[in-house]
Structure 1
């Protein structure tokens, strides 16, 4: 029985709905959201750039060092270089009268030295290295098989080398080579020009 003078109070929930922490937790039944991925793209690009910069700088320094060293070593080798041994004179019987043959080489525009001067009179080969320019050599020769030739190589990185053959005072062959380490070559098969 209910006592009429006593009022009973019922406790009601919070106004507007359910009490706090009532029901399933948030995200119940769904996987938790994935956190955003952290990327280190900028750091990776900076590291790759630094490595490339160091590699390019190192390669450049190496090439410059080798080039400078190589140029010095090439010059030293040219100063001491005789590409072919000089062969002993081989007697060649010429025919006809003897002629005065002058083998000449001159340099212009910075060509001061020939790294190699090679001459043949018949089958007699002579070779000289590190020859200052101008160069001149006089020989007495008759008509010989194989003729007469002169090769001259510029030892410098610039300039022009001219080589010529004169027979009895008259220029019978002349050639010019321009540029670094250029080679001029002249040859005559007959002295009767």
Structure 2
């Protein structure tokens, strides 16, 4: 005799399944911090272009300190710190070179004045008053040379000197005799060309052109 299947009743031998385990969301890593001194080093290195190199020294110091902190703390900013150090050293070196050249030009100008000082006052009348000859010292800048660091002119051993003047430059003197003339012009920029000339009674007696960083143009007319 067969029995119908027992619907609605659980098979006692059927194993009851277990529920799914509780899921856990993966933990997100915390963002790495950027070293503050590295940012400061980069900013100070960039501003060194407009601060005459004063902030470049701080860029070097902050950059080296931040590189040590980054290595120890595993923070970000290694590239910025390295860029700040490199910019700091480059700009510091350039500004040191600039001031060395400025001082060298100033010393050369003082030496020229000392060597050319007249031994008597007899030549003063050759520059002042209504002399019968006209002497013109002229300097012209081009390609970025807009000013002269030092300009020294000597007419019959009488010195005239100007510092930090814009180009073009022109000075006219009256003399009674034509003996010795000297003209010295130093470019105040790291680029451009300077042309200097001595004009006597309307005619160019001597002319020279000098280019390059802080170039010095010299002309002498002993026998115009």
TM-score, reference length from structure 2: 0.49
> CA–CA distance in 2 between the matches of 1:103 and 1:174?
10
Name the counterpart of 2:151.
Answer: 117
Helix, strand or coil at the partner of 1:84: helix
**Given the alignment of the two structures, is residue 173 of structure 1 paired with residue 214 of structure 2, yes or no?**
no
Note if 1:64 corresponds to 2:90.
Answer: yes
Q: Which runs of 5+ in 1 are unaligned?
A: 1-49
Using the TM superposition, give the Cα deviation of residue 84 of structure 1 relative to its aligned residue in structure 2, in angstroms: 2.5
TM alignment of 1:13-92, pairs within 5 A: 57=82, 60=86, 62-67=88-93, 70=96, 74=99, 83-84=109-110, 90-92=121-123
The structure that has the greater radius of gyration is 1
- Residue equivalent to 2:188: 155
Aligned residues: 131
Where 1:74 maps in the other structure, the secondary structure is helix
- Cα RMSD (Å) of the superposition? 3.4
Higher strand share: 1
Asked if the contact 1:177–1:183 (Cα under 8 Å) also holds between the matched residues in 2, the reply is yes
2: CA distance between counterparts of 1:166 and 1:105?
Answer: 11
CA contact (8 A) 1:143 1:190 kept: no
Higher RCO, 1 or 2 (CA under 8 Å, sep at least 6)?
1
Structure 2 gaps of 5+ residues are 1-70, 72-77
- For 1:113 and 1:150, how far apart are their aligned partners in 2? 16
Confirm whether residue 186 of structure 1 aligns to residue 219 of structure 2: yes
Q: Is the 8 A contact 1:84 1:127 kept in 2?
A: no
Corresponding residue SS for 1:180? coil
Aligned partners of 1:162, 1:121: CA distance in 2, in Å? 19
Q: Distance in 2 between matches of 1:187 and 1:124?
A: 14
How far is the alpha carbon of 1:70 from its aligned partner? 3.7
Question: 1:50-95: per-residue Cα shift (whole Å, max 9, x none)?
Answer: 8xx9xxx596355235236547x839x78xx68529788843176x
Choose between structure 1 and 2: higher helix proportion: 2
Partner of 1:107: 141
